[in-house]
Every structure is written in C-alpha cells, then in structure tokens.
C-alpha cells in the first residue's frame, strides 16, 4: 500500500500493516512548514526500503516518523506492521524486518538477546528508546473538575478499597472540588497490553509494593471494575459512564474531553504535560551498557521530584549494532535519525512526547554508532 500525505490523513490508518512512502513532489509539506529540526538534518538515505514490525502502542508515532522520513528521503519507503511486541521481536530475530518495535527491551532470560545477536551476524542488538507516551489517569465526572490524586489513592481505587468519589481520601486531596457521592466505576484493559504492564509497574513502584499486580494482564482487586478490549473501547466506556475512572494513553482523554488527574508523588500536584513528562525522561537511568539504551523505568516511576509526571510507557526500536548490508545500514540509520528529530507538535497531537534534548543526544549517539 502506497499512501500520499494530504492534510492530516496520515494520522490514523485502520490497516494492521502500515506503509508510508515518499512520493517525490506529490509528498506534501505539513501545514505550517517543514519541521525546523528536519530542515537542517543531513542523512544518507540509502536505496533500500525500511521495514519494521511490533508494538501497536507506538504505531501512531511511527506514522509521524514515516511521514517526516518521506519528506527527507522522497524516494524511500517505510513498512511497519503493528502486530504486538512479541511478534515484532520474533520477526526481528528471524531477520524478517530491519527493526523490531517493542514495549520492553530484549529479555536475556527468554533467549531474545542471544537470538537477536545471531540475527545480527554475531553482533549485539541494541534497544533504542525512541517513543514515550504518557499514561493518563482519566475520569468522567459532572463538569470534570480538576483533580489531584496520589499513587496510593489510585491503587486503592483499583483494589476496591476506595469506592466513592466523595471518599475522605479523595476529598483531602481536593478540598475545593465538588465531588459527587456516586460510585467510582473503574475500567481496565481486558486484553494483554503494554499499557497495562507499564501502569502496573508504575503503581507497584510508586506505592512501595502496596499494589502487587504485574504483567500485561490487569490484576486489580477481585471483582473490581470492568474490562474492555483495547484502549479505544476503554476510553469510550469512560466517556459513556458517569463516575468512570481508568488509565489510558494520553491521546484518548484529550480527544474525548475527559478529565485528566494531576499526580502528587510527594512534592505537590503535577499536571500531565509535555514538559513535565520530559523532566522524568531526562532524569531516567540507563540499565544497558554502551549504546544499548535499556531504560530503568523504576527511575521514572519512582521519581518524586517537583514537576515530574511519572506515568509513561516507553517503546523501543530494536536494531543491529552491526550486521546489516551497507544499504540497509544507511536506511535504518537515516530513518532513526529522522525519528529522533520528529515534529514535536505532531507527536503531541498523537499522544506522545518528543525526546528531551539531553536524552535525544544519547539516542543519536547510539544511532550514529550503528555500522
């Protein structure tokens, strides 16, 4: 499938396999002009198309990357299939795609590190954290008053220990809010989800283990809440239900006009904004060695510094450090260079945040080191 970009038509594609292609003079410059970071960028595009597969959580970000790549490299094509992180890793290690998109870094205990090295002609594969998407704590109340919540309160809601909106714990955090005495109706993802996995990691870290759920399947209190398949159904259910409460990617409550809570991790309420999420990313610690940029998510989730919004999902582009043929090397490096410099406004519209400058520097050093 070959798609020309007209107006904002690139933003959402229903097909599982995404192919965005540069189309020469037919490839329209975005309204407002070309991204300044892209305009001055020097890349060697190569002659081969770029292929990737994996995480659906980063799919809309890859749309933005591919659009910008088509502008910078008008004869190039990006093919990305959203099939889930596990299938993306498997396709990469099998040599079926140039990069794998994954909600988590390669796992040594599952044999993924060794399999990826074999695919890369005996060279290590690197986890490049290219996409960060905030997870919003969202709700539907009359008038959607501005609310502040803590990790402990969020945890207790999902465990069924706080059941009404006028509970004293919520009122203490929001003394000036008009809180109705209605039931809280939690919604969660019923399918396996990277969003759920990251949210549960956050709650477990931020509550010091008081919340015990983990993994891609939601594990709140027994009989608490209602499950829905996919973030879209979760968000639509919250929109349709007075008193509803959920965790969901930022783009959904923005588009539906739902309430989004500020988070108080101990240093005061913090609004979900690009700048506040960026502070957490900038302070993130790296677990990987050298140019393998595996992020220690606990260093974000447990960050209690003022002005840090700590609930994020990050996804990786998994690539070979060495082992591609020369033209594929050029194409992968040029695509990832463009991706790191993607248009911040377009990313935010799609529910993501751009890489903060210091973090972007680490990413570009890794991309430049691919050989």
Residue percentage of the chain with pLDDT more than 90: 80
Give CA–CA dist 340/309, Å, rounded: 21
pLDDT the model gives residue 133: 94
Confidence at 61, pLDDT banded by 50, 70, 90:
very high
pLDDT in tens, 193-216: 888 999 999 999 999 999 999 998
* Residue 8 scores a pLDDT above 60: no
Is 154 within 8 Å of 206 (Cβ atoms)?
no
pLDDT the model gives residue 33: 59
Give CA–CA dist 271/355, Å, rounded: 18
Tell me what the pLDDT averaged over the chain comes to: 90
Tell me if 231 is assigned to a ligand binding site.
Answer: no
Delineate the domains of the chain, giving CATH numbers in brackets.
17-133+315-369 (3.40.190.10), 135-276 (3.40.190.10)
Write the burial class of residue 291 (CB in 10 Å: 0-12 exposed, 13-18 middle, 19+ buried).
buried
Provide mean pLDDT across the span 3-13.
32
Tell me if 292 is assigned to a ligand binding site.
Answer: no
pLDDT in tens, 121-158: 999 999 999 999 999 999 999 999 999 999 999 999 99
* Residue 16 scores a pLDDT above 50: no
pLDDT the model gives residue 32: 54
Tell me if 194 is assigned to a ligand binding site.
Answer: yes
Q: Which of 17, 286, 324 is nearest to 127 (CA)?
A: 286
Tell me if 273 is assigned to a ligand binding site.
Answer: no
pLDDT in tens, 166-197: 999 999 999 999 999 999 999 999 988 888 99
Residues in the chain: 371
pTM: 0.86
pLDDT in tens, 242-284: 999 999 999 999 999 999 999 999 999 999 999 999 999 999 9
3-state secondary structure of 361: helix
Tell me if 103 is assigned to a ligand binding site.
Answer: yes
**Region class of 198: left (phi > 0), else alpha (psi between -120 and 50), else beta:** alpha
Say how many Å lie between the first and final Cα of the chain, rounded: 30
């Amino acid at each position: 499938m070959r798609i020309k970009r007209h107006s904002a038509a690139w933003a959402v594609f229903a097909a599982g396999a995404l192919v965005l292609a540069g189309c020469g003079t037919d490839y329209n410059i975005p309204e407002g002009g070309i991204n300044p970071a892209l305009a001055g960028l020097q890349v060697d595009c190569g002659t081969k198309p770029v292929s990737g597969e994996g995480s659906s959580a980063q799919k809309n970000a890859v749309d933005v990357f591919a659009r910008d790549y088509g502008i910078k490299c008008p004869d190039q094509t990006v093919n990305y299939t959203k099939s889930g992180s596990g299938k993306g890793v498997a396709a990469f290690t099998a040599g079926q795609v140039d990069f794998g998109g994954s909600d988590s870094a390669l796992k040594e205990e599952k044999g993924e590190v060794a399999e990826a090295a074999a695919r890369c002609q005996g060279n290590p594969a690197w986890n490049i954290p290219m996409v960060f998407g905030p997870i919003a704590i969202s709700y539907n109340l009359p008038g959607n008053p501005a609310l502040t919540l803590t990790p402990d309160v969020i945890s207790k809601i999902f465990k069924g220990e706080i059941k009404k909106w006028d509970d004293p714990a919520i009122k203490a955090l929001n003394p000036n809010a008009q809180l109705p005495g209605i039931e809280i109706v939690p919604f969660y993802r019923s399918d396996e989800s990277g969003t759920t996995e990251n949210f549960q990691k956050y709650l477990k870290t931020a509550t010091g283990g008081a919340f015990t759920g983990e993994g891609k399947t939601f594990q709140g209190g027994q009989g608490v809440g209602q499950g829905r398949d996919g973030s879209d159904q979760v968000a639509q259910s919250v929109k349709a239900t007075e008193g509803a409460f959920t965790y969901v990617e930022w783009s959904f409550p923005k588009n539906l006009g739902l309430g989004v809570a500020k988070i108080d991790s101990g240093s005061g309420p913090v609004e979900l904004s690009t700048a506040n999420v960026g502070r957490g990313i900038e302070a993130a610690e790296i677990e990987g060695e050298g140019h393998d940029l595996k992020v220690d998510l606990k260093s974000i989730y447990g960050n209690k510094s003022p002005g840090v919004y700590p609930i994020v999902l990050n996804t990786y582009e998994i690539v070979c450090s060495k082992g591609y043929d020369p033209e594929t090397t050029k194409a992968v490096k040029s695509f990832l260079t463009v991706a790191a410099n993607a248009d911040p406004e377009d990313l935010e519209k799609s529910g993501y945040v751009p890489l903060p400058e210091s973090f972007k520097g680490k990413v570009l050093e890794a991309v430049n080191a691919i050989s």
